[in-house]
Structure 1
Amino acid sequence: MSENPHDQPETLEHPEEALHRRAIRSFVMRAGRMTDAQKRGIDHGWPRFGLSLEQGLLDLDQVFGRQAPRTLEIGFGMGHSLLEMAQVAPDQDFIGVEVHRPGVGSLLNGVLNAGIDNLRVFDCDAIEVLNRCIPDGSLDRVLLFFPDPWHKKKHNKRRIVQLGFAEALRQKLKVGGVFHMATDWQPYAEHMLEVMSAAPGYRNLAEGGGFVPRPEERPVTKFERRGERLGHGVWDLKFARSE
């Protein structure tokens, strides 16, 4: 699927508009060959752990069969860090959203191998998931780790972290719930900090209003280790819903 070439920025006045208007995509649909393990994840894992937009607004207690703290990760890639977080926190529930089908298959295969039941998966646009499926005030955390920074200035409007997105996301967090972002691209880190500092109803959890030290609960990925070897920095941001 190719990108939509509209030029309107996705900085919107009302959160409802951020959830309904998708003229600009923050991701590219990438084709990819599925390995046998990934196919197994889709074939055997999806019927049990997959969620779809057609289900509409979810009763998350019913989905997981319990009440527990809930985390949503947007763009989990191949799912390694999300799987690790779910494994080390069996008392918490996790929802992952990813448009890359091999990544979905990889995560589901990992879930099957690990034998865990506290993780569910969407394979579609996260904005649509927020719009149609996630109840207001239901999330304790939202994670956005290493999103596409859209390096070129003319593509900056495609970055998912914009004021409209922040406003929309705030509705889904509980008061006190945390939006945790991480990036290895300093200009995007600065962009995130600027946007989130301007977004109403959030409080920066970093001392001095900047970036937080690397949180222990965020797993170190192969991607991050490779970046460290190349001398890349990583910036973490945490903003809590304050109202």
Structure 2
Amino acid sequence: MTEPSESPIALEAERPMRTIKSFVMRAGRMTEGQQRGLEQGLPKFGLELGDGLRDFDEVFGRRAPRTFEIGFGMGHSTLEMAAAAPEQDFIGVEVHRPGVGALLNGLLTQRMDNVRVYSCDALEVLRQCVADASLERVLLFFPDPWHKARHHKRRIVQPAFAELVRSKLKLGGVLHMATDWQPYAEHMLEVMNAAPGYRNQAADGQYVPRPQERPVTKFERRGERLGHGVWDLKFERID
């Protein structure tokens, strides 16, 4: 997946404003299928940041539980989740154009209509396009861990991120995160345990077993072969 980095939502007034995007741009060539997805799928499934706050009941033509996914990569997991839950709606955000094209091509091929796509900064979409208390789930799978200590400030999971997501979740809604980098899992846990208005769904207050609804990706299987662990975190909005 395109690897999101931290985008400060509220900086101290005395500090100079510096915008860090919630993603790292990756170059990549387009396949014919991906190009088809962009050309034919964007007019049908694509949404624009510039359109501002959206009524997603109107966008999808129904009222349904809604999931917002930050950085869907090549879209394989998004397609699998949406196909397995046709009664739910999915809003995916990704800046990697081949990935956007791949997901759109999949939606066309499988004739699915419960996914909409933004190709821009996911945090800006949350701020500008998503109504407060309107989402059942927010997903953040395998974000860039920014391994070096001097880059930790770029991590997307920060207190301001937790507060933004909480404002968009319904009461009882869940932020579900997953990472294959244990130090980042520990960072996520520290940030979320300190974030007001959340409850950790793990029985031991740590990590949850891999939820059945989260597909196992090629990325994850490759990591498992290399002996990497995967840590899932689920935090429920309670206030």
AA matched with 1:187: P
Match of 1:80 in 2: 76
Paired residue for 2:42, among 38, 41, 46? 46
Paired residue for 2:30, among 17, 31, 34? 34
On the 8 A contact 2:7/2:22 being kept in 1, the answer is no
How many residues get paired? 231
Match of 2:232 in 1: 236
1:185-241 deviation line (CA, Å, top 9, x unaligned) = 000000000000001111100012100011000000000000011100000000001
State the distance in 2 between where 1:184 and 1:54 align.
34
State the distance in 2 between where 1:71 and 1:157 align.
27
On the 8 A contact 2:132/2:169 being kept in 1, the answer is yes
State the distance in 2 between where 1:183 and 1:208 align.
18
AA matched with 2:174: V
AA matched with 2:183: P
Q: Any stretches of 5+ residues in structure 1 without a counterpart?
A: 1-7
Q: Tell me the secondary structure at the aligned position of residue 177 of structure 2.
A: strand
State the distance in 1 between where 2:52 and 2:23 align.
23
Q: Tell me the secondary structure at the aligned position of residue 204 of structure 2.
A: helix
AA matched with 1:42: L
AA matched with 2:132: D
Q: TM-score by structure 1 length?
A: 0.92
State the distance in 2 between where 1:13 and 1:208 align.
33
Percent identical residues: 71
Match of 2:3 in 1: none
Match of 1:115 in 2: 111
Is 1:212–2:208 an aligned residue pair? yes
On the 8 A contact 2:172/2:238 being kept in 1, the answer is yes
On the 8 A contact 2:22/2:123 being kept in 1, the answer is no
AA matched with 1:239: F
State the distance in 1 between where 2:140 and 2:87 align.
21
Paired residue for 2:166, among 167, 170, 173? 170
AA matched with 2:218: K
Shift of 1:11: 7.8
State the distance in 2 between where 1:86 and 1:151 align.
32
Is 1:199–2:195 an aligned residue pair? yes
State the distance in 2 between where 1:25 and 1:46 align.
23
Q: Any stretches of 5+ residues in structure 2 without a counterpart?
A: 1-5
State the distance in 2 between where 1:22 and 1:208 align.
38
Q: TM-score by structure 2 length?
A: 0.93
1:143-201 deviation line (CA, Å, top 9, x unaligned) = 00000111111111110000001001111000000000000000000000000000111
